[in-house]
Chain A
Amino acid sequence: MDSKGLKGSRGIIAVIALMIIFVGVSTSLLQLNGNVARGISPEYNELAPYEAPNNLASWVYDYRGFDTLIETGVIYVGALVSVLAIGRGIVRVKGVEGDAPVAPSSMEFNVSTLNVILKYFGVPVIILLVAYALLVLTGAATSGGGGFQCGVIFSSAYLLGMIFYGRKNPLNLSKKFLIAIGGVGWSIYALLGLPGYLTTGYWQYNVGADLWTSGVIPGVDGMAAVVPDILRQLFGDPFRLLLVMSDGTYASTAGIVPLINIGEAFNVIGAICLIFLVFVYGWNDEEEKSR
């Protein structure tokens, strides 16, 4: 819709609607000021020392970990649909001549005019960005960061490489590789729910941290299952930390949370890099087949 479409009665309706929304939201936020209910959050805070030192990591990838699995899916589906719009996976009915598919052309992208300083400056920056992405990923459970942030930083390094050096950039990742790594990432995340499901019946139960069958927290009624020691050690011990806090010392482990972050990072790298690559160079089935 161009700006002309918003003139006249449509424009007036749009302005009135926006004003109503603005007034409604802002008065609600003002009324909430100082009245925000704490609800369930104190419970999460109480449990925090037994899991990831970064409380946010426990919330996002443990307590609400299944939410985040589907949110991760939004990124995966976003890439799938974006690339479909460019031409990967357009389907036709056998024997029916419909309208010809719209074939978006690739961007006119030329790296030959880049100056020498930028060209030499690019490689160390890309190396630094990738290193930073790995740092953010490995520190997911203990500090701000995680798989998503790692994926975004890595993707920015990839985009920088494409802008500076074109298709044959230092991170020379093919479309097939990116599609595969995105899928593998989301699969890793999804399948990390399996150990908990098989041992306790609860999908994505954190068998590494194992707050509820190991007796760490007393007063639990109803969980009959016991996580085998081998699973607890396999998923928990590599990430164990000694937390010295004002009310005591806790031997906490984030359990499967760091592994989920690795899956998330793969998914985001695959999805976002694929979008960059296909938006810049387009998609051609014949060309892909010959590669």
Chain B
Amino acid sequence: MNESISNLWSIPLFIIIPILTAIALNIMYNRKKAISVTAVASSFALVVISALSPFGFHWFTGHPAVLPTGGYTYRADLLGWRLSLEYYYGPLQQIAIFLASLLLLFVVMISIKSLKKNIGPYISLLFLTFMSSAIVIMVNDFYHMWIGVEIGSLIVAGVVLASGEAVSQKAALKYTFFSALSGAGLAIALALILGVTGYSNISDAIKAMPLSNGSLASILYVAFGFTVLSWVYAGGLAPIHPLKADVYGASFPHATVLLQAQSKLMLVAIGLLLLRVFGTLPFAKEVMLSISVLTMMLGVVMAMLQTDFRWTLAYLIVSHSGLVTLGISLGTVQGIIGGLFQAINDVVYMSVLLLACEGVYYFGRGTSIKSVSGIAKRAPWLAIAAILGAFAASGVPPFNGFQSEIILIQASLNYGMPELAIVVLMVSVTTFIALFKGIYNIFLRPDDALNNNEKTGTPVPKILYACLAALIFITVLFGVYPQLAINFLTEAALKVVYIPWVP
């Protein structure tokens, strides 16, 4: 459970490969062949590395830890104060990074196939989105977490801007302005914790936390408040959910696949940080739970009101972020496992729905239920993928959403709050209604223009179908055999509850 290795070979590669690839792609700019080879090879390498890597730590710059008894050690399992920046790659990180790299590979292949000219900077930003996700999920350091959130927000703005439309520019500008608060919040929290403990390493800071000193403990409440602010902004939780929904809705649907994965990983990383550092403070979990419930309810209500399928999905992503944070906020082993599993599942089934939406976009009449219909006749496999994705998102067995939502319901009941279980159920039902409203109108409603053989748009690329098939396979796999994913998540949940100073 507590690995001793402090120079795990794979960890730097998760950051350096995306950086170098992004730089190369940006310089290549419109050399499509070179961009295709470089981007696919790099993203495939990331998938392989994440699958094969053992677990352990990496102490960047290779300075040892200072032993309490004097002297230095390179053994990560010994008690010592870290001189270096510390990353950890464990089971949670493995499943999260594997999934993120797989999505990166899919999104890169779809982008190369479907976008025309000058794609270098755009795909460069997709790699950097992966990089920021990998940073936040692996890092065990306040300062670096802040940098991960900061660069992540900027990258999101770039991905949204890439479509160049007015709605994208507006969404990106608003998001950039407000998300600056997220980074700033984390920076102030970092400054206060550094002042109180003298350590930016999260484990060291927890060990040095002056909880018995009443006057200094009050500073921790202020730091908690700012960290929560950062959590809310980075993850798009209520009350700023419209900003994040705009970002999801204004991007290309395939790009939203990566953006929502990044957002979920940030929610998980900052959520676990909140529990580890501030979990013992009275009212901390209650604040987190309130935000989660508000996000879930506002998200589904807004999703029901939308007439554009992209925006329906955007608000559902926000709403389901509340499911993730609900489990984490409960602070019990079962709740945390439920929250983490929900994050993994949510990323997968929302990717199915987003890629199905991408397929609709290729028909050239937008994604509004008012302007597009009858797609099932021209693309029956796309319709099937959307329906299966909707079943998974609504928690229908045998798909993955069912398994994580049932854990969340059980965790809420065991926590003594059946009302939370009712909210989870309500979110499932309203998700189903919101999605099938869109799916019926777009895929199943007869279309006069289609019957007249009107040809618009471009054929849906085969690679999109291949990616959809792979993702649907994962939703069924985790739905039938949930233990496969849960095995990767249990360690993280146990550590947070029982030994929070161990990353």
Is A186 in contact with chain B by the CB < 8 A criterion? yes
Instruction: Give a binary string over B429-469; 1 marks a CB under 8 Å from any A CB, 0 the rest.
Output: 00000000000000000000000000001100000000000
Give the docked Cα–Cα distance between A217 and B70 (Å): 12
Taking CB atoms and an 8 Å cut-off, the chain A residues in 48-106 that contact chain B are 62-67, 69-71, 73-74, 76-78, 80-81, 83-85, 87-102
Give every chain B residue within 8 A of A211 (Cβ-Cβ).
63
CA of A74 to CA of B135, assembled, Å: 14
Cβ–Cβ contact A67 & B166, under 8 A: no
Tell me if B216 and A221 are in contact (CB < 8 A): no
A44 pairs with B252, CB closer than 8 A: no
User: By the criterion CB–CB under 8 Å, are B124 and A65 in contact?
Assistant: no
**Residues on B with beta carbons closer than 8 Å to the beta carbon of A200:** 7, 62
Closest to B85 in A: A66
One digit per residue, 1 when the CB lies within 8 angstroms of any chain B CB and 0 when it does not, for chain A 169-205 equals 0000000000110010011001101001100111111
Residues of A within 8 A of B215 (CB): 31
Give the docked Cα–Cα distance between A219 and B69 (Å): 11
**In the complex, how many angstroms separate the beta carbon of A17 from the nearest chain B beta carbon?**
10
Minimum distance in angstroms from B97 CB to a CB of chain A = 17
* B151-159, B276-284, B341-349 - the one binding chain A: B151-159
B29 to chain A minimum Cβ distance, whole angstroms, is: 7
- Contact mask for chain A residues 24-65; partner B; CB cutoff 8 A; 1 contact, 0 none: 110110011001111111011001000000000000001111
CB distance from B139 to the nearest CB of A (A): 10
B118, CB-defined interface residue at 8 Å: yes
Q: Is B144 an interface residue when CB atoms closer than 8 A count as contact?
A: yes
Chain A residues lying within 8 Å of B66, measured Cβ to Cβ, are 40, 43
**B222→A73 contact, CB < 8 A:** no
Known: A28-B219, A81-B158. A95 touches B165 (CB 8 A): no
**Is A2 at the interface (CB under 8 A from chain B)?**
no
| In the assembled complex, A212 has its CB within 8 A of some CB on chain B | yes
Q: Are B164 and A70 in contact (CB under 8 A)?
A: no
Residues of A within 8 A of B154 (CB): 74, 77-78, 81
In the bound assembly, the distance between CA atoms of A44 and B120 in angstroms comes to: 41
Q: Quick check: A285 and B59 within 8 Å, CB to CB?
A: no
Q: Is the CB of A67 within 8 A of B27?
A: no
Please report which residues of chain B, range 14-29, place their CB below 8 angstroms from some CB of chain A when the two chains form the complex: 15-16, 19-20, 23-24, 26-27, 29
The verdict on A102 contacting B164 (CB below 8 Å), with A38-B198, A94-B458 known, is: yes
Q: Which of A71, A102, A180 contacts B165 (CB 8 A)?
A: A102
Contacts of A64 in B (CB 8 A): 61, 85, 143
Contacts of B12 in A (CB 8 A): 193, 197, 203
Taking CB atoms, residues of chain B closer than 8 Å to A96 are: 361-362, 364, 457-458
CB of B225 closer than 8 Å to a CB of A: yes
A residues near B198, Cβ cutoff 8 Å? 36-41
B219 A95 Cβ-Cβ under 8 A:
no
Neighbour of A93 across the interface among B59, B197, B361, CB < 8 A: B361
Task: List chain B residues, Cβ under 8 A from A94.
Answer: 114-116, 458
Q: In the docked arrangement, what's the CA distance between A206 and B84, Å?
A: 12
Q: Is the CB of A201 within 8 A of B144?
A: no
Chain A residue nearest in CB terms to B80: A221
A118 interface residue per 8 A CB criterion: no
A201 touches B26 (CB 8 A): no
Establish whether residues B163 and A91, one from each chain, have CB atoms under 8 Å apart when the complex forms. Answer: yes
Q: Which stretch of B71-79, B297-305, B489-497 is in the interface?
A: B71-79
Which of these binds chain A: B188-196, B306-314, B410-418, B420-428?
A: B188-196
* Interchain CB contact under 8 A, B192 and A206: no
Q: Could you say which of A35, A44, A65, A95 contacts B61, with CB atoms under 8 Å apart?
A: A65
Q: Are A32 and B219 in touch, CB under 8 angstroms?
A: yes
* CB-based nearest A residue for B7: A201
B161 interface residue per 8 A CB criterion: yes
Q: Mark B86-117, 1 if CB is under 8 A from A, else 0.
A: 00000000000000000000000001001111
State whether the Cβ of A244 lies closer than 8 Å to any Cβ in chain B.
no
Decide if A215 is an interface residue (CB 8 Å cutoff). Answer: no
**Is B324 part of the contact surface with A, judged by Cβ < 8 Å?**
no
A-B contact pairs, 9 of them (CB 8 A): A47-B83, A62-B61, A91-B122, A93-B361, A95-B364, A193-B60, A196-B62, A204-B60, A204-B61
Known: A27-B218, A37-B198, A85-B169. 18 other contacts (CB 8 A): A28-B222, A32-B195, A66-B144, A77-B158, A80-B158, A85-B161, A90-B118, A90-B164, A93-B361, A94-B114, A94-B458, A95-B457, A96-B362, A101-B164, A190-B16, A193-B12, A204-B61, A285-B118
Please provide the 7 A-B residue pairs with the shortest distance between their CB atoms, ordered closest to farther. Answer: A39-B198, A202-B62, A95-B458, A101-B164, A222-B74, A89-B121, A205-B62
